[in-house]
Structure 1
């Protein structure tokens, strides 16, 4: 299985980008063809083909991704992971263009098959040994011309391509394939041969006999493990050293199966010294897999420039080093000297061989496509994700023949597993992720373990592709309940991104970049919706503040009119109801400095004066005054939504209350203030209520310096942590509107109230801009607390 993974990696590395390389040459060929064609239709044909080519270029990234998927699917079928039952496929009609595509693919496969006949025959025999060893039925060559032609056809099956452009497309694909297939088939044949799959056999080769290492007069490293020689570890962790000289693993029994076993040989050869510096252990990944020879092609495993398992970058951040020290102290504090079940002493780590990074990566690759239910359950709240990862890797090691009783993870590997586990636990617990998101994250656990093992910059570089993808997925899933079509689309796109990484990640970070680009395109729309949501929240808050301010101002004016002189009941009710509402409306629409506002104030004063005239029994003067006020009173009643007839009826009721000079008159209390939703909300939030605020004035000044766009971390009334951004500062009250990461209002509070929340421990200044950075801060805090306890 590991050899097949390496063949798949070579295939995707050498062939995966071919569709993207065809278009420049095709464009030149189109221009040349039209230039040589003197027909009158030549310009029109050129335009049609160029337009179709332009469409293909727009879909270039999707084509490359689909082509890589199709090539990788051949390996899944070969390993019987996803064998399609063609007998159950529905039959139907296909159009002529699809028939032409398939005919072109068949011609391409026949041409390449004839050209590379000798290499393909050799490869067929070696793959037959692989299927025999794995107990699989004969399956077509996953990298044969037929499979590569089918992968190309299926890549463009949904495109409308003119006949001339289709011929150029297949012609240039055949030409580019011809340039690399020879080297590729040679590498695959060499890899299979060096791994023990020499040729076709009728019976499965016998299992290799494990024997003790051959003594060496000058050992270059520890060889205590009985599995070290069996799996071709080349005699110990000496950087750049090849395997057993002469190209034969010391662990093989030459009499078993004609010395053509199917294990991982350590044939680096004497010439491989220094060529396998990529891994720094036992001749390197390249030496182990048979590529650690001098003069091997650039980019193969074992070369220093290869971006795979061999190039483990040293930590570049002092913070990461400090975090590792805390992690070691935390892990040491959790280790028990005896087994929990029997109390027997645990086997000492020194008696077991440390796994190499490439071995752990191979195990993780074997498990990557399998169901991730065990990780999903660990993320559900048990907090044992690290244990689940170790158990799965140990189980995968056992499948590859590595006995977990005789091997152990190195310190760096333990760090990578623990950091990834703590990272995912923190992400899931602090971002209100739903159950569907838990399964999505569970699928990403092993790919991120592989990234952490091979590239420590994951934890120190904000622009790391895997890190950006995890941030994008968290942004898409956090707080997303799938209640709207847009939210459901985001969840589907995030799930597709995680599935693509699982299906295609094989130590090439480009898959993270591609998946992030596709998800980020949809997130751009989401971010715009969030911005609009925050703008609407700001406008709604500002509207409530203006209304509250207008009501307070109107109540103040009304209270002074009701306090003196004594008023009749009719006038007091008119002032308390219609006139107050009219004042509020004028203040909201035209402001307190407008002419209409002064006219409204004058109306109230004139009614108070009319009531005084009525109390004195001056009927003629009262009639004159009311006739003069009639237009203003009708307008005042109209602002309350009354039509002309209803306004006249209201005027009549008011006049009826004034015509009796001996009607009782008294002082009246101002009506209670209208409840404010913000006041009720702040009463739930502010520590100690709204009447007594305890805060540090210096902290209040820090809060006053907060500008829109700055992030805080708060604890809501339910005790849950909330990331809150300052979205708006009120020009009326200087209060701050805080919204969450989805643009929804969290709190509207003054700087003093924010300072009071800080004093109560419910608010912290500053918040990491990305989910990954925030999770890493929580990991550090968790380790700080754990180390302090130990």
Structure 2
């Protein structure tokens, strides 16, 4: 079969290529302003909870509220600014310098420009390589348009300019302006890596910049040309003009979410869309026996038998490949049958691929196709293996309970059918089937069905899977409808989780303040007990009411003078005991009268009313009235330490040894300190279960990290040193993807890469 000459070697019409990049820029980057406000609100809330706020905090909140009220206008203005960058490139808005108005820049506008320049420099350094490649390709496009050299319409300078033009008239407070730029820089860092890759691939695919004819042998399944990004082409071979351009952009949807390029995101691995071709190649090498199977147990034997069968088939040449329509007929017939075989296969790694093949072979026999005379095509084998590895990885990287196996087993064949007909499942972030699987995993992960809300989530996830089984017939709209229904309930669940997380942050901060207050009171008491011999009454007063008074004052009273008075009361009682021992009665009486208000206040903080407090004071006076009373060195049990903050169950993931005392690698601990609020990690608990956890809060007092699960429940509170030890032990993986599908596919690729390296 002859293959048409690849059309990507000829340059596409520049205006249409530029319009496509513009569409993608507005679509992918145009929503950034709306993503800034939650992060600013969280930063202000954390500052308030930690007490690190100044007199302008109220003005900051008011400024943020005003920004939210203008959100729709600012979003539209920002999108217009993005589009104007492309108009400038096309020469539609080019003005001479003599036409530009001159005038003084207001201080607030100047601050915007200075902050913007700092972000431009940071982004230029971070994305230097793709920007250099893009600059050469846009120069070729400008020459094709007959235009002089103009600025990159999606370069950092233009993107920051669009932001400054959109927001500078809002006049936010200096702190909110700083947070705005910080959040904007973070959003650009997360999005630009994938976006620049897609834009460069599109320019190369349509003939701008370095490209070379394909060196691969053309097949009936398509071809691959050797650009810098190696953009894969699949589906119809004869793609021309905008079809090729849309195909290139669609294939460049990546797996990662920017962890690999973000500060502190070590350990993440970005898997761009072009790697799907390499993934297929590795799968086929594995099936041919060149690589050892990445699965274990039954999977290894299965791969070996397939390898032998493949060699026999190539030698005999007697078995024909199943046509796609035959394969789809088999899958459609089996789709509604009970998923027991797949549920059992998901109980152990490496079994699902064999279960799918056995089930499909049995189905082929039932429609009159002899499995002994037919075999799966390479693309069909790819679809089976990718779905099997995907579902296996989902169960290994998420805390999915036994009840979820049947639910996922029900989805196996519908996803095989999607994989057979649509490569977008593995390369497009917004694919409906991909979004549905993410939502189902979110609903099922760690769900023990202990509460009515958790049971409702499981029931809705089960209903979504049943709807797909009943209605899916090669129209992915059913996945979109099922996802919309499930996501509406997940939205409520996420809001409950956010509230639970907020309560946890407050509770943890309160507990740390309590521990710190107790440690301060213990230190003050032990210091005084060690310095002198005391009467039992004074020692008991110091160990109980006075120490408790210090704790309460530190927690409840922000007045430094009150705190100093609480500490000074202990020294005053030591002086009273010394005056009594020296039989200096008149001085003792005067001294007790002077500290009487402080003693009564101390007793009142322990919950005593006026009468009880007066009685307690009288007992202390009687004890001091006898100068010959016995005096000895006193001791007291510390209030702090032990299990005063978390119960044993809450501390089940903690490491023994405290914080910096545990043995750890300093460089790993330094990486852990770079973790930011909102970053996701995966932990392996003491029972061997994998738990997805998010950094919800970093203590301003102890620098410990609070990690919560998707339900807003505490998973772990640990220092950077403890996290470093867990990482070195293989119990902690950072750089986890936010999407369960992305994370599962990343693990699939890692397994295949590791297998290739081992071979």
Mapped to 2, the partners of 1:467 and 1:279 lie a distance apart of 19
- Residue 783 of structure 1 aligns with which residue? 752
Aligned residues: 486
- Residue 615 of structure 2 aligns with which residue? 649
* 1:675 Cα offset (Å): 2.4
Q: Which blocks of at least 5 consecutive residues in structure 2 are unaligned?
A: 1-218, 222-233, 244-249, 254-272, 290-299
Q: Decide whether aligned partners of structure 1 residues 314 and 397 sit closer, same or farther in structure 2, where only a CA change above 3 A counts.
A: farther
Are the equivalent residues in 2 in contact too, given 1:355–1:409 (CA < 8 A)? yes
Are the equivalent residues in 1 in contact too, given 2:353–2:385 (CA < 8 A)? yes
Q: Decide whether aligned partners of structure 1 residues 371 and 344 sit closer, same or farther in structure 2, where only a CA change above 3 A counts.
A: closer
Give the 3-state SS of the residue equivalent to 2:607 in structure 1: coil
Q: Decide whether aligned partners of structure 1 residues 647 and 444 sit closer, same or farther in structure 2, where only a CA change above 3 A counts.
A: same
Q: Decide whether aligned partners of structure 1 residues 553 and 606 sit closer, same or farther in structure 2, where only a CA change above 3 A counts.
A: same
> Within 5 Å, which residues of 2 pair with 1:662-677?
662-669=628-635, 671-677=637-643
- Residue 734 of structure 1 aligns with which residue? 703
2:364 matches 1:403: no
Give the 3-state SS of the residue equivalent to 2:716 in structure 1: strand
Higher relative contact order, chain-length normalized (CA < 8 Å, sep 6+):
2
Q: Decide whether aligned partners of structure 1 residues 335 and 555 sit closer, same or farther in structure 2, where only a CA change above 3 A counts.
A: closer
Residue 318 of structure 1, aligned match among 274, 283, 296: 274
Residue 617 of structure 1, aligned match among 571, 583, 591: 583
* 1:347 Cα offset (Å): 5.5
- Residue 731 of structure 2 aligns with which residue? 762
Mapped to 2, the partners of 1:704 and 1:324 lie a distance apart of 38
Are the equivalent residues in 2 in contact too, given 1:500–1:515 (CA < 8 A)? yes
Give the 3-state SS of the residue equivalent to 1:774 in structure 2: helix
Deviations 1:626-648 (A, max 9, x none): 34433322221121122333333
2:563 matches 1:597: yes
> Within 5 Å, which residues of 2 pair with 1:135-146?
none
Deviations 1:487-506 (A, max 9, x none): 11111111111111111000
* Superposed CA RMSD: 3.2
Give the 3-state SS of the residue equivalent to 1:475 in structure 2: helix
Are the equivalent residues in 2 in contact too, given 1:694–1:759 (CA < 8 A)? no
Q: Decide whether aligned partners of structure 1 residues 391 and 545 sit closer, same or farther in structure 2, where only a CA change above 3 A counts.
A: same
Give the 3-state SS of the residue equivalent to 1:728 in structure 2: strand
Q: Decide whether aligned partners of structure 1 residues 403 and 683 sit closer, same or farther in structure 2, where only a CA change above 3 A counts.
A: closer
Tell me whether 641-650 or 689-698 shows the greater mean CA deviation.
Answer: 689-698
Residue 416 of structure 1, aligned match among 350, 373, 383: 383
Mapped to 2, the partners of 1:401 and 1:375 lie a distance apart of 23
Residue 442 of structure 1, aligned match among 385, 405, 409: 409
Are the equivalent residues in 1 in contact too, given 2:251–2:274 (CA < 8 A)? no
Mapped to 1, the partners of 2:311 and 2:401 lie a distance apart of 42
Are the equivalent residues in 2 in contact too, given 1:546–1:588 (CA < 8 A)? yes
Residue 579 of structure 1, aligned match among 542, 546, 549: 546
Q: Which blocks of at least 5 consecutive residues in structure 1 are unaligned?
A: 1-236, 240-277, 282-304, 307-312
- Residue 212 of structure 2 aligns with which residue? none
Mapped to 2, the partners of 1:501 and 1:612 lie a distance apart of 84
Mapped to 1, the partners of 2:709 and 2:304 lie a distance apart of 47
* 1:717 Cα offset (Å): 2.6
Give the 3-state SS of the residue equivalent to 2:338 in structure 1: coil
Deviations 1:535-592 (A, max 9, x none): 111111111111111112222222232222322111011101110000010001114x
Larger radius of gyration: 1
Residue 639 of structure 1, aligned match among 598, 605, 609: 605
* 1:424 Cα offset (Å): 0.9
* 1:710 Cα offset (Å): 1.1
Q: Decide whether aligned partners of structure 1 residues 533 and 386 sit closer, same or farther in structure 2, where only a CA change above 3 A counts.
A: same
Deviations 1:4-35 (A, max 9, x none): xxxxxxxxxxxxxxxxxxxxxxxxxxxxxxxx
* 1:531 Cα offset (Å): 1.2
Residue 357 of structure 1, aligned match among 312, 321, 324: 324
Mapped to 1, the partners of 2:642 and 2:335 lie a distance apart of 55
2:519 matches 1:552: yes
Give the 3-state SS of the residue equivalent to 1:351 in structure 2: coil
Tell me whether 327-336 or 495-504 shows the greater mean CA deviation.
Answer: 327-336
Deviations 1:684-708 (A, max 9, x none): 6337765643333333333222221
Give the 3-state SS of the residue equivalent to 1:567 in structure 2: coil
Give the 3-state SS of the residue equivalent to 2:347 in structure 1: helix
* 1:715 Cα offset (Å): 2.5
Mapped to 2, the partners of 1:630 and 1:452 lie a distance apart of 82
Mapped to 1, the partners of 2:712 and 2:252 lie a distance apart of 37
Q: Decide whether aligned partners of structure 1 residues 744 and 683 sit closer, same or farther in structure 2, where only a CA change above 3 A counts.
A: closer
Give the 3-state SS of the residue equivalent to 2:695 in structure 1: strand
Q: Decide whether aligned partners of structure 1 residues 238 and 720 sit closer, same or farther in structure 2, where only a CA change above 3 A counts.
A: closer
2:542 matches 1:542: no
Q: Give the TM-score of the pair, scaled to structure 2.
A: 0.59
Deviations 1:483-539 (A, max 9, x none): 111111111111111111111000001111111011101101111111112111111
Are the equivalent residues in 2 in contact too, given 1:716–1:762 (CA < 8 A)? yes
2:347 matches 1:380: yes
Mapped to 2, the partners of 1:496 and 1:750 lie a distance apart of 42
Are the equivalent residues in 2 in contact too, given 1:614–1:622 (CA < 8 A)? yes
Q: Decide whether aligned partners of structure 1 residues 331 and 767 sit closer, same or farther in structure 2, where only a CA change above 3 A counts.
A: same
Tell me whether 449-458 or 343-352 shows the greater mean CA deviation.
Answer: 343-352
Deviations 1:436-495 (A, max 9, x none): 211111111110000000001111111110000000000001111111111111111111
Q: Decide whether aligned partners of structure 1 residues 390 and 367 sit closer, same or farther in structure 2, where only a CA change above 3 A counts.
A: same
Give the 3-state SS of the residue equivalent to 1:665 in structure 2: coil
Mapped to 1, the partners of 2:681 and 2:596 lie a distance apart of 56
Q: Give the TM-score of the pair, scaled to structure 1.
A: 0.57
